[in-house]
A and B are shown apart, each in its own frame.
Chain A
């Protein structure tokens, strides 16, 4: 069932594709983080309309399967006058929009954990809302939600396997192509699973360590 020479031949190809998967996931995490801060702040805004707007964003992007969102972007963008979006860009847009909704919920929890007195004090010191967000709320919220954010990264790396449907040669698509040519389905797909574990198992371990440390510090 296993063919070692073939395995040695395929492994470097998958390693290269792993890099694509990582690039797309990290880009989506960064953009999703920005979206998450904006939408998370909207959710806590004193203005009801803005709160609803944030809620609607989360409702839509968490309620629709990522695969459908990716198909939507891939088929829909050219129709509204945005032709020639490369698969990489389409994949990053799709993953970021979805990640933004999940990170918004995480950040909302983080923002709410910050004592209101700090913000009042910052206001008295003459800080603008933007300054308060960047200097007081975000740094503390990130520290509080770091385990959740690492878990979000794991989810994103797993979700990025779906970008193969918009034609990006990520880890999953590369393994599919290899399996289609050498018919070693078990070997190729087990190797594929192994590559995902290579990244995600250490990340999961890091997340649980961070969580324990956070618990010790807050306890």
Chain B
């Protein structure tokens, strides 16, 4: 077993590009997921049963099936519904939907964790629904759900590796490709592992920093 670092210097451009694709699909997937999750959560918390029941079923179905299967349905099944997507948009859509239902559950518990009395008080003061979501519920719940959100964001980072199966040229696809071309499996796979560890660690460090930063008002001493 030998270790040959020249593998990386020879393919630096490809690896860099793969890294960018990983970052790009990850961040777009997270943004789409957050937006979708917020919509679903608001519809669930403030909607009637006509909205709640189908959303509940949708969430359970997405949570019960593997991400890979959902990707297959979007990428290979999409054309039968007239939705032919390139691999990268299909991957981002898949990530967004998959992440969205988990984000929705996180947001929903967040909404429910803010005491009812505060909303009733806001109602009495003539504050509109939208305002009370924006100014009363969101600021308080975001602090509480931040750890769960960060956790889900790192989960999505790891799920981007699965995108290689629908031929998206991200980090896993690029490095295993180089591995099978040059038979340098040891180098490329080690590099791959280290790359993801760094990404995930950076993400959770950033999360911890944010948690202490936004949580300051919860623990601040009264003057």
Interface residues of A (CB under 8 A from B): 1, 59-60, 62-68, 71-72, 75-76, 79-80, 154, 157-162, 164-165, 172, 175-176, 179, 185-186, 189-190, 192-193, 196-197, 200-201, 204
> Which of chain A's residues has its CB closest to B190's CB?
A72
Q: Is the CB of B73 within 8 A of A189?
A: yes
Query: How distant is the Cα of A190 from the Cα of B68 in the complex, in angstroms?
Result: 12
* B residues in contact with A67, CB < 8 Å: 161-162, 164-165, 172
> Which of chain B's residues has its CB closest to A193's CB?
B65
* B residues in contact with A79, CB < 8 Å: 1, 185-186
What's the minimum C-beta distance from B3 to chain A, rounded to whole angstroms? 12
Q: Is the CB of B161 within 8 A of A158?
A: no
* A residues in contact with B70, CB < 8 Å: 193
Q: Which of B87-136 contact A (CB under 8 A)?
A: none
Query: How distant is the Cα of A179 from the Cα of B172 in the complex, in angstroms?
Result: 25
* B residues in contact with A189, CB < 8 Å: 69, 72-73, 76-77
Given known contacts A63-B200, A68-B189, A75-B189, is B64 in contact with A179 (CB within 8 Å)? no
Q: Is the CB of B1 within 8 A of A80?
A: yes
Query: How distant is the Cα of A60 from the Cα of B190 in the complex, in angstroms?
Result: 12
What's the minimum C-beta distance from B193 to chain A, rounded to whole angstroms? 5
Query: How distant is the Cα of A196 from the Cα of B160 in the complex, in angstroms?
Result: 21
Q: Is the CB of A196 within 8 A of B65?
A: yes
Given known contacts A179-B76, A190-B77, A204-B60, is B185 in contact with A60 (CB within 8 Å)? no
> Which of chain A's residues has its CB closest to B79's CB?
A185
> Which of chain A's residues has its CB closest to B165's CB?
A165
* B residues in contact with A197, CB < 8 Å: 61, 64-65
Over the window 150-190 of chain B, the binary record of Cβ atoms lying under 8 Å from chain A Cβ atoms (1 yes, 0 no) is 00000000111110110000001000100100000110010
Q: Does B219 contact A (CB under 8 A)?
A: no
Give the size range of B's interface with the partner: 35 or more
Chain A to chain B contacts (Cβ below 8 Å), 21 pairs = A1-B80, A63-B158, A66-B158, A67-B172, A68-B193, A68-B196, A72-B193, A80-B1, A160-B66, A162-B66, A164-B68, A165-B165, A175-B72, A176-B72, A185-B79, A186-B80, A186-B81, A193-B69, A197-B64, A197-B65, A204-B63
Q: Is the CB of A76 within 8 A of B185?
A: yes
Q: Does B67 contact A (CB under 8 A)?
A: yes
Query: How distant is the Cα of A199 from the Cα of B66 in the complex, in angstroms?
Result: 12
Q: Is the CB of B69 within 8 A of A192?
A: yes
Q: Is the CB of B66 within 8 A of A68?
A: no
Q: Does B35 contact A (CB under 8 A)?
A: no
Query: Which residue of A75, A158, A201 contacts B66 across the interface (Cβ within 8 Å)?
Result: A158
What's the minimum C-beta distance from A168 to chain B, rounded to whole angstroms? 14
* B residues in contact with A172, CB < 8 Å: 66, 68-69
What's the minimum C-beta distance from B99 to chain A, rounded to whole angstroms? 14
Q: Does B197 contact A (CB under 8 A)?
A: yes
> Which of chain A's residues has its CB closest to B60's CB?
A201
* B residues in contact with A63, CB < 8 Å: 158, 196-197, 200-201
What's the minimum C-beta distance from A136 to chain B, rounded to whole angstroms? 31
